[in-house]
Amino acid sequence: MVTAAQQQTASASEAPRTFPKGFLWGSATASYQIEGAAAEDGRTPSIWDTYARTPGRVRNGDTGDVATDHYHRWREDVALMADLGIGAYRFSLAWPRIQPTGRGPAVQKGLDFYRRLVDELLEKGIQPVATLYHWDLPQELEDAGGWPERATAERFAEYAALAGDALGDRVKTWTTLNEPWCSAFLGYGSGVHAPGRTDPVAALRAAHHLNLGHGLAVQALRDRIPAFAQCSVTLNVHHVRPLTGDEADADAVRRIDALANRVFTGPMLQGAYPEDLLKDTAALTDWSFVHDGDLQQIRRPLDFLGVNYYTPTVVSRADGSGTHTSDGHGRSAHSPWPAADEVAFHQPPGDTTAMGWAVDPSGLYDLLGRLASDFPRLPLVITENGAAFDDYADPSGNVNDPARIAYLRGHLAAVHQAIADGADVRGYFLWSLLDNFEWAHGYSKRFGAVYVDYPTGTRIPKASARWYSEVARTGILPGA
């Protein structure tokens, strides 16, 4: 059955559509996925260095030791962005490159790398958008307990202050955390992300301390950056749908929505954890790790909410067997969903990407509509959207990826329709600029608009890069 949202999205793709003036067109990366230079200029191991070097954790034993060598090829990469007409670049700072032990003064060589990068971006007319944390916690802080411990949130605020002092005169848009759900529940619950722990209570504790770290970091940044500079957080907001119209499936949606979304939007945007979340997880924890004053600290005014979307999540009531392996987040004997064993996850219908994720732009349309309704005064920015496909360079050296172009066209049509229907969406960042280290999948999945030949490091813009370049330059989405 075709939903109304799908009909709207389809009709939007049939003819060219013009985005609002000033709409921000960008692309995104993350430090561990592209930088390499894992032991240069004072950088020490992060939890992802340790995890990737642990046998059996990452496909083919791949690591980010070299990645795409962006640390040495950053000028080339900025030139690529300029050539493609990208207006903004969302990148993350590597915490262990700036503050190797997670404590104490900054390493100036680390900060200098980001100063040079930002200066080059500005010279090319590209807006820098800096993310403080995209999952590379200094290993020394994990050894001291990691995100389940309150001290990590306090260290994060100190690191934010160092970054703000060094780059606040250059960077006008800041993001505290990228996808804290993944950090908490994949890192400490299912163990399919670093640091690879499998403790549901630790996952819930980590979620709270990530929330607290966010609030403390916003405060630290606000004290250091210009009044007109922007602060945000990026959430991988799950669009959760029921398998059927049964009441039991609706309750499964409620339960997963609390664990996936409202565990963050509640304290960050409303100043409270959802009562149903506390009730659902009461057998695991009494939430006594939430201290007086925490919720006020977490709820700091934001200039926009970053939204990452790839595919919807379909759930139903289960028989208690814990069938969580179809949730799209990797296979593990341990669930990333605390106290949700009675929820089953199902593969959404339709075409899939190389990740096995369903291609469904209507999920993005629906999600933006919900966020616009729930938080009507908070602007939205799509900070990640994209797809992995089995790309290759043909004998002439070209990389043709029509499936990615179709994916982007459909999802941008959904964004355009959401704006037309009242959602305040200010920008779109394609994930990703470059093929890169895709976490536990290693180098086996290619998300980039630019193809990377890993043995040589050669960059080749794919057909989708040229297509997206034209959209970014003109603000016009071509018809199908």
Active site residues: 179, 384
Q: Strand ranges (DSSP E) for 84-160?
A: 88-92, 127-133
| Residue 473 CA: distances (Å) to CA of 84, 245, 384, 386 | 8, 44, 19, 19
Which tokens sit at 72? 């040495």
Where helices occur in 314-451 by DSSP H, the ranges are: 361-374, 402-420
Q: Which residues, 6 or more positions from 286, have their beta carbon under 8 angstroms from its beta carbon? A: none
End-to-end CA distance of the chain: 22
Cis peptide leading into residue 226 (ω within 30°): no
* Percent helix, percent strand, percent coil in the chain, to nearest 5: 40, 15, 45
Q: How far is Cα 83 from Cα 52, in angstroms, rounded to an integer?
A: 33
In one-letter notation, the amino acid at residue 469 is: S
> DSSP for 171-198?
--EEEEEE-HHIIIIIIIII-SSTT---
Strand partners, 315: 242, 345
What is the Cα gyration radius of the chain?
21
Q: How far is Cα 463 from Cα 450, in angstroms, rounded to an integer?
A: 9
Cis peptide leading into residue 31 (ω within 30°): no
Q: How far is Cα 437 from Cα 147, in angstroms, rounded to an integer?
A: 23
Give which of 221, 66, 195, 90 is closest to 135, Cα–Cα. Answer: 195
- Cβ count near 470 (within 10 Å): 13
Q: In this structure, are residues 229 and 174 in contact, taking their beta carbons and an 8 Å threshold? A: yes
- Cβ count near 466 (within 10 Å): 13
Q: 3-state class of 242 per DSSP?
A: strand
Q: How far is Cα 197 from Cα 320, in angstroms, rounded to an integer?
A: 23
- Cβ count near 112 (within 10 Å): 12
